């Protein structure tokens, strides 16, 4: 049995089901699809099921009194969507705007509600299938990202890719700001 997954209507891959399959790390299916993207010189990945779409970068409208990592909001087909600069969230320099800069639209759960937000990244690399056997738990130290934000470390072609937990990567302050934007939309 397979399930088709599409990202922004451009990528479609069958995902093999794995009923009763062996898990390398609790919570990871035998093989799972991820969207890989760059922040500066590091590659990160997010579970493809969290991704709604990928859009070309457009300058967000600034909103006063937002946390520094909230770059502003964009209009996405009539909805106001907050844009988070993950580089700032991870304590780095703000993401510079280049030819490959884009906004990854994701869904996150917070306090029982689903929120749509954009993640500003330096560029999207690929949709990749990662075998759970190649995923290791987050290290207790040694990464440039808070280990609470990391679901696991995937070994792909001899290099590690950091698999992010988007829900944990956003602070309470940012989620409150997103909730305020959502309330304005209602």
Mean pLDDT of 144-169: 81
Span of 7-16, 29-38, 177-186 with lowest mean pLDDT: 7-16
Task: List, for residues 101-116, the tens digit of each pLDDT value.
Answer: 999 999 888 778 788 9
Between residues 124 and 67, the one the model is more confident about: 124
Q: Is the full-model pTM beyond 0.75? A: no
Would you state the structure tokens that stand for residue 101, as one six-digit string?
């800069």
CA 81 to chain centre: 15
Nearest residue to 84 via CA among 76, 92, 73, 98: 73
Instruction: Give the chain's domains with CATH numbers.
Output: 2-185 (2.40.50.180)
What DSSP string runs through 87-138? HHHTTSPPPPP-TT-EEEEEEEEETTEEEEEEEEESEEEEEEEEEGGGEEPP
Task: List, for residues 32-54, the tens digit of each pLDDT value.
Answer: 899 999 998 889 999 999 999 99
The Cα angle at residue 145 between residues 125 and 94, in degrees rounded to 5: 70
Query: Backbone dihedral region of 77: left (phi > 0), alpha (psi from -120 to 50 degrees) or beta?
Result: left
């Amino acid at each position: 049995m397979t399930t088709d997954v599409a990202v922004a209507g451009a990528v479609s891959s069958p995902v093999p089901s794995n009923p009763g399959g062996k898990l390398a790390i609790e919570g990871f299916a035998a093989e799972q699809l991820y969207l890989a993207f760059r922040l500066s010189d590091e590659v990160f990945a997010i579970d493809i099921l969290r991704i709604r779409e990928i859009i070309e970068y457009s300058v967000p409208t600034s909103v006063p009194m937002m946390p520094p990592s909230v770059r502003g909001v964009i209009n996405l087909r009539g909805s106001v969507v907050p844009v988070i600069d993950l580089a700032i969230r991870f304590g780095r320099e703000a993401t510079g705007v280049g030819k490959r800069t884009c906004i990854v639209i994701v869904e996150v759960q917070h306090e029982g509600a689903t929120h749509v937000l954009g993640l500003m990244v330096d560029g999207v690399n690929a949709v990749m299938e990662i075998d759970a056997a190649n995923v290791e738990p987050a290290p207790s130290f040694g990464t440039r990202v808070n280990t609470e934000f990391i679901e696991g470390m995937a070994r792909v072609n001899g290099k590690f890719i950091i698999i992010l937990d988007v829900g944990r990567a956003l602070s309470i302050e940012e989620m409150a700001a997103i909730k305020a934007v959502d309330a304005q939309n209602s």
